[in-house]
């Protein structure tokens, strides 16, 4: 049941996200060089999936879910701060030519747009549709 007063928040947020998602898929297709639009779509999908997970973690619907997410968040942060960051110094110099291309920054933008749209929509829907406010 939607909490009273938040119907328009849900309607406008979900409609905006839908339109933004359609535009993102279209841009990912149009900016795919030499039929690489599938890679652009995979990058958008990866951003959306990671955004979904972050959106779930940031909006627990119960106290038990909050406790479970706390443990998961700690494990993920340990993994990211330890293993991933230690590998970046080896990867960045070998990929320098690809990192400086315009297409690289466009794909980073695809990832970030999909990520933030998904985080916002998951958070808003869990907060206002599940009456967690």
Write out pLDDT tens, residues 57-102: 888 877 777 777 887 888 888 877 777 777 777 766 666 666 667 7
Which carries the bigger pLDDT value, residue 36 or residue 115?
Answer: 115
Given this model, what pLDDT does residue 52 score? 93
Q: Which residue has the higher pLDDT, 8 or 119?
A: 119
Cβ atoms within 10 Å of 63's Cβ, excluding its own: 8
CA 115, chain centre distance (Å): 2
pTM comes to 0.77
Q: Please state, in angstroms and rounded to a whole number, the distance separating the CA atoms of residues 112 and 107.
A: 9
Question: If we measure between CA atoms, which residue out of 116, 92, 115 comes closest to residue 104?
Answer: 92
Q: Is residue 108 within 8 Å of 95, Cβ to Cβ?
A: no
Q: How far is CA 51 from the centre of its chain?
A: 3
Report the candidate in 14, 33, 2 with the shortest Cα–Cα distance to residue 106: 33
């Amino acid at each position: 049941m939607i909490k009273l007063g938040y119907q328009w928040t849900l309607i406008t947020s979900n409609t905006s996200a839908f339109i933004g998602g359609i535009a993102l898929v279209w841009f990912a297709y149009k900016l795919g060089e030499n039929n690489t639009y599938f890679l652009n779509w995979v990058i958008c999908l990866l951003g959306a999936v990671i955004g979904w997970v972050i959106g779930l973690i940031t909006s627990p619907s119960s106290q038990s879910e909050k406790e479970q997410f706390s443990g998961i968040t700690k494990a993920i942060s340990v993994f990211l701060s330890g293993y991933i960051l230690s590998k970046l110094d080896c990867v960045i110099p070998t990929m320098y030519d690809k990192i400086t291309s315009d297409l690289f920054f466009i794909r980073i933008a695809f990832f970030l747009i999909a990520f933030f749209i998904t985080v916002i929509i998951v958070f808003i829907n869990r907060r206002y549709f599940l009456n967690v406010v």
